Structure 1
Amino acid sequence: MASAVCMAVGFVKASSTAEIRKQIGDHHRDVERVNVSRVSAEEIARNRSVLIVGGTGVVGSNTAVALNKLCPHLRVVVAGRNRHKGDKVVATLGENSEFSQVDIGDVRSLKAAMKDVDLVVNAAGPFDYMECNVLEAAIQSKTAYIDVSDSKRYAQRAKTYKNKAMAAGVPAITTCGINPGVSNLMAAVLVHNAQSESRGQLESLRFNYYTCGTGGAGRAILATSFFLLGDEAVTYHKGEKVKFSPYSSMLNVDFGEGIGKQDVFLLNLPEVESAHEVLQVPTVSSRFGTGPFFWNWTLSTITRLVPTNFLRDQRIVQMLVQFSYPLIRAVDVITGEIMSIKVDLECSDGYNTTAIFSHKRLSEVVGVATAAFALAVLEGSTKPGVWYPEEPEGIPIEARETLLRRVADGAINSVITKSFCRRK
């Protein structure tokens, strides 16, 4: 009968992977080594400019603020339809910012706004039924591109532009927010560590997310949530695609310090497919939960009572958003905007490892995460083409720690843990 000898290194709170290594010892190489030769954010910003499409929204404006804090000398162009909102955002940024009025449905207008810009950030969600006009304009104008899409449909459409982007010499990354985005990199770090230590075969990868209410992230995020309730949740089990009803198969997951145990449910999120394909993990799933608990009941009830075709209708979803958003935001004021990511990796030899990231304000950290991706692309290490965050052509292995360290600043909890069992 098999027995197990288990060794565990507990949860280590740290703002950077370098601190983790210092606390648990260099013989536990839980993340990539620091490349001390990488340039600082201030050096990146010198004579550079970034265009944020959808810059007047919650995600876009917080990205602008985060870029301004990281790189005060970076020129930030806030782009949107509403000049009044744009002027308000620009007023918070200072002299190195400006507003550009654009129509995301007009490629010509977008191309004009990209003149003399080094990078365009597409934050104009919801993305589910959006065409790739911003990406197309970026390729035509030979401008680097990232987006904050959390839609699998949009990510798949964006990936079809890979060859065009390669031919034009344009580097582009899709799904560059906090989750997906930072969560993809957390998974990539866990997989890389397991493979570099010659562990057994990769077996399973689980993405778990928790957010209080909307997390203050705005109407676009809420609309995406309703769209997801109209999709079957795609998972992978031993290499086979398996579909479940949306918001089903509840698990109670411990998100660690500041969050504790929370219920999470299956959703059809883009990182499941990208992690399965890129990281070559045969079993992958993604779950999400919200608080207070009655919001989970509400979302579960919607999946049972509202016809699927209604949840795929953009007009009906916008009506649901208009009706529910004021109520949800009122509750957000009481509950806060706390969020957490937990990624678990299991291997065939009993090696289990976890990465956790938690922050008190989703609306703030999604801007910081997007800004970190923007700086990574400006550093020039992203190859031409359209990539997912976990693809090394998008964010190279040696650049992951710098990006994660930038995001971890101000987090409640930012840890990578190692716990493994060797069977005798």
Structure 2
Amino acid sequence: MTQQVLVIGGSGRIGRAIAADLLAHTDAALTLTGRRAQPGFKLQSRQRYLSLPLADEAAVEAAIAAHDLVIHCAGPFRDRNHHVLQTCIAQKIAYLDVADSPDHVRQALTYRGLAQTAGVTAVVSTGIFPGISGSLVRLGIEQFDQAESVHLSYLVAGSGGAGVTVMRTTFIELQTPFFSKINGEWQSISPYSQRQVLEFPRYGQGGVYWFNTVEALTLAETFPQVQTWVTKFGSVPDYYNHLTWLVAHRLPKAWLKSPTVIEFLSQVSYQMTRVTDRFSQTGIAMRVAIAGIQDGRPADYLCTFEHPDTARAAGHGTGSLAQLILSGQLQQPGVWPVEQALPTPLFQAMMAARSLSVQQRWKFSAPELKHSAQSENFPA
């Protein structure tokens, strides 16, 4: 029988990108949900639409029961409860999401034991950042004898092609300080602080700032031997960075906690990007810099990835895991972040199947190895 996939929030740009990846790489039938009575887009073959308000928990439970895999992409996740995940565990149905809120993910991971007992594979934060970003870090760390510090940064052009939701997420995460592990100690970090200008593929030099990310939470758990984690985010064009900095550091803190203010800022920002997307486009560039010990010598490693459309890249990240679950290649009961659920060989195979490439370079401090830097592409 044809496998059935429920994409909650499937009428949004990320949801439609995930659906497009599944149509290309699986034979599954897809149910895309939204709040409207009718979809505002054209349905493709093997797709149907279901109006499904998440507040109607009985309807959500009935919809989940009719499917083999549920993909939750109705953000922002900081405002969501865990009813969909809990229902999937209770009904023994595989679960994926694109959660981008550390608070939401922290709570979701507490259901690991229940999911293991039920035999349910659940993977959270499966898009691009977080998602592919975690797999890139794992790819690099696994090549070290001892990884000591990791700096993960990304640039997103304009709206990223993800609609107004990404704006809401950005402003929500400016509300409060967060913690990151620095030199073995957890330290409080001010959001959108300590600007750095780094070199990225696609965009050249770009400014990035401390940002509260899921990766800082889950990667520190996955790789406890790493003593320093830096996670930074920036926008293209650069003046968006300066505007966001002003919001984070000059706007009264009470305003940032107001849903009305957040929605106003999100809508204004989205309208601005609808203009600038015409020349900045909607791509993403990521870089993972790792320092540590390799072959007994201090070494620096740099991994980079870029894609012309952030939403499509997120679709590939989640679609890859959905494909592996539907095919039976990924069965790991519990609730996991991507880097704990997805082995590197499978990650590389999924990237190759989608013609996505990763650049890697090494630099060794020993004089005799200064010229041994190498660059690899996947697919190889």
Q: Give the length in aligned residue pairs.
A: 363
Task: For residues 77-126 of structure 1, give each alpha carbon's deviation from its aligned partner in whole angstroms, at most 9, with x where no partner exists.
Answer: 1122213226x34x2x21x1211222222332112112331111001001
Question: Which residue of the partner structure matches residue 13 of structure 2?
Answer: 58
Correspondence 1:390 to 2:339: yes
Question: What is the DSSP-based 3-state SS (H/G/I as helix, E as strand, rest coil) of the residue aligned with 1:145?
Answer: strand
| Residue identity matched to 2:255 | F
Question: What is the DSSP-based 3-state SS (H/G/I as helix, E as strand, rest coil) of the residue aligned with 1:161?
Answer: helix
Write the distance in 2 (CA, Å) between the matches of 1:156 and 1:244: 18
Question: Which residue of the partner structure matches residue 7 of structure 1?
Answer: none
Question: Which residue of the partner structure matches residue 126 of structure 2?
Answer: 176
Over the matched positions of the two proteins, sequence identity in percent amounts to 27
Task: For residues 316-348 of structure 1, give each alpha carbon's deviation from its aligned partner in whole angstroms, at most 9, with x where no partner exists.
Answer: 212221233212211112211121111111104
Question: Which residue of the partner structure matches residue 170 of structure 2?
Answer: 225
1:149 Cα shift? 1.0
Question: What is the DSSP-based 3-state SS (H/G/I as helix, E as strand, rest coil) of the residue aligned with 2:2?
Answer: coil
TM, length-normalised to structure 1: 0.81
Question: What is the DSSP-based 3-state SS (H/G/I as helix, E as strand, rest coil) of the residue aligned with 1:285?
Answer: strand
Task: For residues 181-226 of structure 1, give each alpha carbon's deviation from its aligned partner in whole angstroms, at most 9, with x where no partner exists.
Answer: 00000001111121xxxx2x32100111001111121111110000
Correspondence 1:353 to 2:301: yes
Deviates more, 1:139-148 or 1:302-311: 302-311
1:165 Cα shift? 1.2
Write the distance in 1 (CA, Å) between the matches of 2:322 and 2:227: 31
Residues 423, 230 of structure 1: CA spacing in aligned structure 2 closer, same or farther, 3 A cutoff?
farther
1:423 Cα shift? 7.6
- 1:246 pairs with one of 191, 209, 231: 191
Write the distance in 2 (CA, Å) between the matches of 1:134 and 1:315: 26
Write the distance in 2 (CA, Å) between the matches of 1:153 and 1:308: 19
Contact 2:69 2:95 in 1 (8 A): yes
Correspondence 1:329 to 2:274: yes
Alignment gaps of 5+ in structure 1 = 1-45
Task: For residues 215-263 of structure 1, give each alpha carbon's deviation from its aligned partner in whole angstroms, at most 9, with x where no partner exists.
Answer: 121111110000111132432112211122211111111113x221111
Write the distance in 1 (CA, Å) between the matches of 2:263 and 2:22: 30
Contact 1:372 1:406 in 2 (8 A): no
Correspondence 1:344 to 2:289: yes
Question: Which residue of the partner structure matches residue 373 of structure 2?
Answer: none
Write the distance in 2 (CA, Å) between the matches of 1:403 and 1:372: 6
Question: Which residue of the partner structure matches residue 109 of structure 1?
Answer: 59
Pairs within 5 Å for 1:144-223: 144-194=94-144, 199=145, 201-223=146-168
Write the distance in 1 (CA, Å) between the matches of 2:118 and 2:51: 26
Question: What is the DSSP-based 3-state SS (H/G/I as helix, E as strand, rest coil) of the residue aligned with 2:365?
Answer: strand
Task: For residues 105-161 of structure 1, give each alpha carbon's deviation from its aligned partner in whole angstroms, at most 9, with x where no partner exists.
Answer: 233211211233111100100111210121112112211001001110111121121
Write the distance in 2 (CA, Å) between the matches of 1:372 and 1:231: 33
Question: Which residue of the partner structure matches residue 25 of structure 1?
Answer: none
1:311 Cα shift? 1.9
Runs of 4+ in 1 over 4 A off after TM superposition: none
Residues 404, 232 of structure 1: CA spacing in aligned structure 2 closer, same or farther, 3 A cutoff?
farther
Question: What is the DSSP-based 3-state SS (H/G/I as helix, E as strand, rest coil) of the residue aligned with 1:114?
Answer: helix
Contact 2:216 2:231 in 1 (8 A): yes
Write the distance in 1 (CA, Å) between the matches of 2:279 and 2:345: 41
Correspondence 1:78 to 2:27: no
Contact 1:338 1:358 in 2 (8 A): yes
Question: Which residue of the partner structure matches residue 346 of structure 2?
Answer: 399
User: Taking CA–CA contacts closer than 8 Å with sequence separation of 6 or more, which of the two structures ends up with the larger relative contact order?
Assistant: 1
Write the distance in 1 (CA, Å) between the matches of 2:352 and 2:137: 15
Write the distance in 2 (CA, Å) between the matches of 1:276 and 1:297: 29
Correspondence 1:274 to 2:237: no
Write the distance in 1 (CA, Å) between the matches of 2:49 and 2:93: 18
- 1:363 pairs with one of 311, 329, 337: 311
- 2:22 pairs with one of 49, 58, 67: 67
TM, length-normalised to structure 2: 0.90
Write the distance in 1 (CA, Å) between the matches of 2:80 and 2:254: 18
Contact 1:54 1:122 in 2 (8 A): yes
1:350 Cα shift? 1.4
Question: Which residue of the partner structure matches residue 299 of structure 1?
Answer: 244
Question: Which residue of the partner structure matches residue 262 of structure 1?
Answer: 206
Write the distance in 2 (CA, Å) between the matches of 1:308 and 1:274: 27
Question: What is the DSSP-based 3-state SS (H/G/I as helix, E as strand, rest coil) of the residue aligned with 1:326?
Answer: helix
Task: For residues 246-294 of structure 1, give each alpha carbon's deviation from its aligned partner in whole angstroms, at most 9, with x where no partner exists.
Answer: 11111111113x2211111111111012111112211001001101111
Write the distance in 2 (CA, Å) between the matches of 1:376 and 1:193: 24
Contact 2:191 2:248 in 1 (8 A): yes
Write the distance in 1 (CA, Å) between the matches of 2:223 and 2:331: 18
